[in-house]
A = this chain, B = another copy of it.
Amino acid sequence: MTARYPDLDQVIQKLTHLLGERCSTAAAVREQHGKDESWHFPEAPDVVCFARSTEEVSEIVKICAAHKVPIIPFGAGTSLEGHVTAVQGGVSLDLNEMNEILRVSPEDLDCTVQPGVRRKQLNEFLRDTGLFFPIDPGADASIGGMASTRASGTNAVRYGTMRENILSMKVVLPNGKIISTGHRSKKSAAGYDLTKLYIGSEGTLGIITEITLKLYGIPEAISAATVSFPDIESAVQSVILTIQSGIPIARIELLDDVQVDAINKYSNLDLAVQPTLFLEFHGSDAYVKEQAEQVNDICSKFGAEGFQWTTKLEDRTKLWQARHDAAYAAIALRNGAQIWATDVCVPISRLADCIMETKQDLDESFLIAPLVGHVGDGNFHLSFVIKKENPEELKEAERLNGRLIERALAMDGTCTGEHGVGIGKKKYMYREHGDAVEVMAALKAALDPDNIMNPGKILPDMAAE
């Protein structure tokens, strides 16, 4: 590895001088930092640094920049497309020690956090204020990682994704300079939207070291519901009509029969093994009831049965924990298996077609792949349950994934609604964006001319060269 970066020893020396024991070349530490929760084959960085402040990040970046050594930011390690894999070696920059909640303003419904803060940590901290932060990818991800991948989750249908919920960020540029991408006002028309440019940039344009987030009042009333359908199409049609009716549903999640079976086993539930919606409503007592009744009416029209709703906290918690554990439930379907998680997003009018065609593909395949989705946004996931040491299985997952993506793109959708590109979806970028990839490559080259920020991610190889 060292051959790739002739100055690497010098870089490690400087980093050790700066950080002491917080600069590590231990094999175990390096290996841990080269892998995420994806199926992708890990590649370890040459060295791992643990930063404690924006200024330290800036110093680390300056050292790496001077010697053109790559830097890969590392948070919770829960990404799903190999975002943290050190495909060109270099320095993994672990931000977990930057995990302070710097300020909360109940008056402004916002807060500022360091990138290593986890989403659950934030909500525990906020509980006494009556506020919450709604974005909830399945894993207990770091806020920095969630910003970097433009994450979303089950609440996005009501509250938006990270894209809609970050007011501004502090970023260390590839030259070590520290900037703010914006301010705390809710709106601004003052120049290019750097906040949005950095959201979803996956560490390729700089290192996010502070994030100012929007918060929301915990609703006066919350109720959850489950409802089963005779087939997947009627479930999806119910979702479409709910969204079109403008009901401000907080969560509307589809699980296919395979996924319901998996979570019944994993989370000890006894749901009917049928296509099922998990729902949540936020509002006043009266308004929550009104919404639930409206949705129940819609679902009944499409032949749903057993609409069960609850306002009890423990029932709701159990339901959503099971939903968040869907991927782990999928893994547990098969001994020694892993999952290849993928996601696409399409306009909601095409969602039924997209899911039906995908189910057809799966029916004809030897692989199992539970389907679950944030269907209110037209976004759904497959979890291919594979043993990745088996090349046949990898090849089949690759084939099904490719067909899924082609299908979504043909429907004016996207190859990923929330997981991001990483190394896994680079090859679909030209297919999705055409010449716009050149614009992305020009932005990357302008801000990171030496290509040291998480190289080998997002941009397809031709564009990046």
Which residue from chain B places its CB closest to the CB of A206 in the assembled complex? Answer: B439
Q: Which of A65-73, A116-124, A327-335, A341-349 contacts B (4 or more CB under 8 A)?
A: A341-349
For the complex, count residues of A whose C-beta is within 8 A of B. 93
The CA-CA distance from A179 to B441 in the complex, in Å, is: 14
The CA-CA distance from A110 to B160 in the complex, in Å, is: 16
Which residue from chain B places its CB closest to the CB of A199 in the assembled complex? Answer: B193
The CA-CA distance from A434 to B434 in the complex, in Å, is: 34
Contact in complex: A417, B107 (CB < 8 Å): no
Q: Which of A15-23, A385-393, A425-433 contacts B (4 or more CB under 8 A)?
A: A425-433
Contact in complex: B432, A189 (CB < 8 Å): no
A108 located at the interface, meaning its Cβ lies under 8 Å from any Cβ of chain B in the complex: yes
Which residue from chain B places its CB closest to the CB of A458 in the assembled complex? Answer: B191
A177-205 vs B, CB cutoff 8 Å, 1 = contact: the mask equals: 11111111111111111101101110001
The CA-CA distance from A443 to B106 in the complex, in Å, is: 35
Q: A190-B429, A246-B216, A442-B446 are in contact. Are A185 and B105 (CB under 8 A)?
A: no
Contact in complex: A190, B244 (CB < 8 Å): no
Which of A150, A185, A197 neighbours the largest number of chain B CB atoms within 10 Å of its CB?
Answer: A185
Q: Which residues of B contact A187 (CB under 8 A)?
A: 152, 156, 161, 163, 345, 377-379, 414, 417-418
Contact in complex: B245, A217 (CB < 8 Å): yes
Contact in complex: B185, A413 (CB < 8 Å): yes
Residue from B109, B186, B216, B412 in contact with A183 in the complex, judged by beta carbons closer than 8 Å: B412
Which residue from chain B places its CB closest to the CB of A217 in the assembled complex? Answer: B246
The CA-CA distance from A408 to B188 in the complex, in Å, is: 12
Which residue from chain B places its CB closest to the CB of A157 in the assembled complex? Answer: B186
Contact in complex: A189, B284 (CB < 8 Å): no
Q: Which residues of B contact A435 (CB under 8 A)?
A: 173, 177-179
A-B contact pairs, 9 of them (CB 8 A): A106-B244, A180-B433, A182-B414, A189-B416, A189-B418, A190-B429, A191-B200, A193-B196, A446-B446
Binding site for B on A (CB under 8 A): 105-110, 149-152, 156, 160-161, 163-164, 173, 177-194, 196-197, 199-201, 205, 216-217, 219, 240, 243-246, 248, 284, 286-287, 290, 345-349, 377-379, 408-409, 412-421, 425, 428-429, 432-440, 442-447, 458-459
